[in-house]
């Protein structure tokens, strides 16, 4: 098991306290042996991102796996025959009754109740981090934030939407003193934008 330059995560500035921890249920299952994962850090990041997105309630499960497992899931559910970094599955979402929900100044997660799953590859994080000269832990956090933003309603299928999503990723990651290189934001097939 590898721990690549791990430092405990602390936010760079005051966090929001709008949402109570009771609003969010997060289950983290570490099913791999490649990277030491600190579940408490991942949980803090997810709580903060959900709060920043103003999600009303969330039930999120995160499975941290190896390349073989994520390859199998990517092939089974998305018909993509290659390992990837993150898969996100929105199982259920309830939208707020607020007619003004589409206001441009609100985050995409505003008022939603989200039930979703994230599967991330720690093995892919190690491989990719080496290429771009940052820690595997930071790369894994990028995958988790990217997947969570998909659950909140962000998309990266068009250039305009991809830029909106990348901007939001940078904002979330900067809270934790993580600054991704734009070049790290590609999937295993080399396509710009992390796959989901």
How high is the pLDDT of residue 21?
54
pLDDT tens profile 110-131:
999 999 999 999 999 999 998 9
CATH code of the region 21-96+106-184:
3.40.390.30
CA distance 11 to 187: 27
Q: Check pLDDT > 70 for residue 11.
A: no
How high is the pLDDT of residue 190?
43
Region label for 177, one of left (φ > 0), alpha (ψ between -120 and 50) or beta (otherwise): left
How high is the pLDDT of residue 193?
38
What angle, 0 to 180 degrees and rounded to 10, lies between the N-to-C axes of helices 136-152 and 122-132? 120
Q: What's the average model confidence in pLDDT over 41-59?
A: 96
Pick from 18-22, 94-98, 191-195 the range whose average pLDDT is largest: 94-98
């Amino acid at each position: 098991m590898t721990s690549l330059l791990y430092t405990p995560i602390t936010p760079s500035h005051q966090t929001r306290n709008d949402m109570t921890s009771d609003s969010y249920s997060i289950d983290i299952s570490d099913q791999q042996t490649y990277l030491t994962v600190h579940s408490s850090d991942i949980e803090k990041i997810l709580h903060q991102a959900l709060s920043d997105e103003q999600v009303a309630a969330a039930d999120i499960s995160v499975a941290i796996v190896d390349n073989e497992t994520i390859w199998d899931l990517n092939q089974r559910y998305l018909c993509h025959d290659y390992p990837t970094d993150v898969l996100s599955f929105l199982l259920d979402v309830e939208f707020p009754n607020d007619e003004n929900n589409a206001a441009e100044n609100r985050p995409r997660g505003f008022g939603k109740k989200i039930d979703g799953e994230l599967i991330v590859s720690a093995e892919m994080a190690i491989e990719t981090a080496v290429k771009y000269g940052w820690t595997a832990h930071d790369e894994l956090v990028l995958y988790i934030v990217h997947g969570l933003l998909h659950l909140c309603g962000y998309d990266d299928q068009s250039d305009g939407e991809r830029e909106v999503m990348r901007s939001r990723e940078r904002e979330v990651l900067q809270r934790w003193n993580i600054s991704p290189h734009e070049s790290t934001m590609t999937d295993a097939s080399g396509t710009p934008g992390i796959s989901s």
